[in-house]
Chains A and B, each alone.
Chain A
């Protein structure tokens, strides 16, 4: 990959609200280098600090400790209006008293650009997001998806070096959200602008991002490409938050990890250590108990069968925690079905089990 340098470098960044015993550490120890032209996602549950981080980059809030550099320039104390960064707000924050065209041209007007340049840029932006013919409408005459596009066009119009997006798709319905995902990704490639995208939706993050920082408790839990995050979660939290995983408590024995009701699973580690086994529900094959082979887990009992259209999911009892297994419908495996009460065994795919420190 070509080296573009860093669009945004965060060093030892932290943000604490309040003082003394009531202090709340919203963010701490953030060291991140967001590359130029990258689609970078901050992913985590609400309250994980991702929005705080975005606000620090935008300049709406000041860090308690640490440093933010945008394209090599330290932006400490620089107000938001002076930063080469624009934001797409979660609830759009479109100006209700202005038309679509006036909203899109707002930043250029504030910068005192000539009228002709503003008109040309507005026309280009409106076309970019596919809102031709809507220029004279007001925000309350637009659908959610259209408002979203206006917010995008408005933030892109001044030509930011970094575009910050704060859960921009969360207010849209599921179908529109799907479409906007591809459009956003295409827009990012087309414009070549660095996108910093905040979301709590793992599907969104996996589908669009070049890299993802998974956040929890004000800290980055894991940083990596979507595949790395999903296939090789660094810890319990990441494994559980991204895609959901069976997290099984186990103890390291001489031949592997020993898990209650499942037997011994080949793994290496310090003998006697408490560990957590993480297994994705779709990386387990389910078979009738009886034809038990070495390496199979179980036997377990089907407690619930959940039909979900494109896949079939089972909840299995018999281990320390209930286990979930999903089978895609169709194909050879689609022919398999079980009913509650059936005794089954599980056969994990090679490399499917990750051993995590507890």
Chain B
């Protein structure tokens, strides 16, 4: 029995050292004072959290409300939310298609879904940028076909960021949905039709409610990394439209305000955690 428990030691150790500890450290940093060139001074301060909502006047120290960071948080939530919905709309039919193939084709399809992960995310994001930019093949094709007069603004905006998020997180939506559809008892669909449900009624009253756990799992797997994503806004947004991930990155690299970056991270983690708890509690209530 003792030996059996030892099997968990490597993973528990990894989680402890490389996850729990850094998170604790980040939270700790958020309540310390910034050092001039990065790092922290061991002096407790709530300044980082104040900065989230207020701007401190450099001369007289008065606080005035500043919605800039809230806006970035809001933009991150909206971008991640839109990406989640798009992933859902693309992922559900795809997962349905795969789950209803014969077994040999299923494994092939699942492999194809994961193929993008054989290529580094940075490379994929840059490749997407090359497609979208003014001189890229899409704009080139549109113009040579006479469908556009000048290059369409495809890159360096929210559209490009959304596209980047969808293309990088789509598999995280497809896989849990696939697992849910795979377990779906198709005689329930026949029962629905037999009981006079139209196609749409069957989808709404039977398929969607039963696939809910898969939809929630896929949604969280896209939304949570999406809200803190760094590469897509950095490269595809051209650094013009900040998302939370970039703002946090800047605090540790450019502005060298570690406590503020840590405070932003802590807020992001808390928001995510609260959302997770709410979803889990609601799911548990519906189970009962």
Q: Which residues of A contact B (CB under 8 A)?
A: 58-60, 79-82, 85-87, 89, 91, 93-97, 106-107, 109-111, 154-155, 158
Contact A111 B196 (CB under 8 A): yes
Within 8 A of A (CB), among B145-203: 185, 187-188, 190-198, 201
User: Can you list the 10 inter-chain pairs with the closest CB atoms, starting with the nearest?
Assistant: A107-B195, A93-B191, A93-B187, A80-B193, A110-B197, A110-B196, A97-B209, A81-B196, A87-B194, A81-B193
Expressed in whole angstroms, the minimum distance between the Cβ of A176 and any Cβ of chain B is 21
* CB of B66 within 8 Å of the partner chain: no
* CB of B71 within 8 Å of the partner chain: no
A154 (CB) vs chain B CBs: closest residue: B195
Contact A110 B198 (CB under 8 A): yes
A158 CA to B196 CA, complexed, in Å: 9
Contact B193 A106 (CB under 8 A): no
* CB of B206 within 8 Å of the partner chain: yes
Q: Which residues of B contact A (CB under 8 A)?
A: 185, 187-188, 190-198, 201, 205-206, 209-210, 212
Expressed in whole angstroms, the minimum distance between the Cβ of A331 and any Cβ of chain B is 48
Residues from chain A with Cβ under 8 Å of B198 in the complex: 81, 110
Q: CB < 8 Å: which of A58, A81, A93, A154 contacts B185?
A: A93
Contact A95 B188 (CB under 8 A): yes
Contact B209 A110 (CB under 8 A): no
Contact A96 B210 (CB under 8 A): yes
Residues from chain B with Cβ under 8 Å of A59 in the complex: 193
Expressed in whole angstroms, the minimum distance between the Cβ of B287 and any Cβ of chain A is 9
A105 (CB) vs chain B CBs: closest residue: B195
Residues from chain B with Cβ under 8 Å of A89 in the complex: 187, 190-191
Expressed in whole angstroms, the minimum distance between the Cβ of A265 and any Cβ of chain B is 50
Q: CB < 8 Å: which of A96, A110, A154 contacts B201?
A: A110
Q: CB < 8 Å: which of A91, A97, A106 contacts B187?
A: A91
Q: CB < 8 Å: which of B188, B194, B205, B212 contacts A86?
A: B194
Contact B210 A110 (CB under 8 A): no
B188 (CB) vs chain A CBs: closest residue: A93
Expressed in whole angstroms, the minimum distance between the Cβ of B195 and any Cβ of chain A is 4
Interface of B is mostly: helix
Residues from chain B with Cβ under 8 Å of A80 in the complex: 190, 193-194
Contact A93 B190 (CB under 8 A): yes
A158 CA to B197 CA, complexed, in Å: 12
Known: A106-B205, A110-B201. A95 touches B194 (CB 8 A): no
Contact A87 B191 (CB under 8 A): yes
Residues from chain B with Cβ under 8 Å of A87 in the complex: 190-191, 194
Contact B190 A106 (CB under 8 A): no
Expressed in whole angstroms, the minimum distance between the Cβ of A229 and any Cβ of chain B is 29
B185 (CB) vs chain A CBs: closest residue: A93
Residues from chain A with Cβ under 8 Å of B197 in the complex: 81, 106-107, 110
Known: A95-B206, A96-B210, A110-B201. A60 touches B195 (CB 8 A): no
24 contacts across the A-B interface (CB closer than 8 A): A59-B193, A60-B193, A60-B194, A80-B190, A80-B194, A81-B194, A81-B195, A81-B198, A82-B196, A85-B194, A86-B194, A87-B194, A93-B187, A93-B191, A95-B206, A96-B188, A97-B209, A97-B212, A107-B196, A107-B197, A110-B195, A110-B205, A155-B195, A158-B195
A82 (CB) vs chain B CBs: closest residue: B196
A58 CA to B195 CA, complexed, in Å: 11
Residues from chain B with Cβ under 8 Å of A158 in the complex: 195-196
Contact B196 A60 (CB under 8 A): no
A162 CA to B205 CA, complexed, in Å: 25
Expressed in whole angstroms, the minimum distance between the Cβ of A155 and any Cβ of chain B is 8
B212 (CB) vs chain A CBs: closest residue: A97
A86 CA to B196 CA, complexed, in Å: 9
Contact A86 B195 (CB under 8 A): yes
A81 CA to B214 CA, complexed, in Å: 27
A95 CA to B198 CA, complexed, in Å: 16
Given contact pairs A93-B191, A109-B205, A158-B195, a sample of 9 additional A-B residue pairs in the complex whose CB atoms are under 8 Å apart: A59-B193, A85-B194, A87-B194, A89-B190, A89-B191, A95-B191, A110-B192, A154-B195, A158-B196
Most buried by A among B187, B190, B195, B209: B195
Expressed in whole angstroms, the minimum distance between the Cβ of A85 and any Cβ of chain B is 8
Residues from chain A with Cβ under 8 Å of B210 in the complex: 95-97
B288 (CB) vs chain A CBs: closest residue: A138
Residues from chain A with Cβ under 8 Å of B196 in the complex: 81-82, 107, 110-111, 158
Residues from chain B with Cβ under 8 Å of A111 in the complex: 196
Expressed in whole angstroms, the minimum distance between the Cβ of B205 and any Cβ of chain A is 7
Contact A106 B195 (CB under 8 A): yes
Most buried by A among B188, B192, B194, B210: B194
Expressed in whole angstroms, the minimum distance between the Cβ of B210 and any Cβ of chain A is 6
Expressed in whole angstroms, the minimum distance between the Cβ of A54 and any Cβ of chain B is 11
A91 CA to B190 CA, complexed, in Å: 12
Residues from chain A with Cβ under 8 Å of B201 in the complex: 110
Residues from chain B with Cβ under 8 Å of A95 in the complex: 188, 191-192, 206, 210
Expressed in whole angstroms, the minimum distance between the Cβ of B138 and any Cβ of chain A is 42
Known: A93-B187, A110-B201. A79 touches B195 (CB 8 A): no
Expressed in whole angstroms, the minimum distance between the Cβ of A282 and any Cβ of chain B is 39
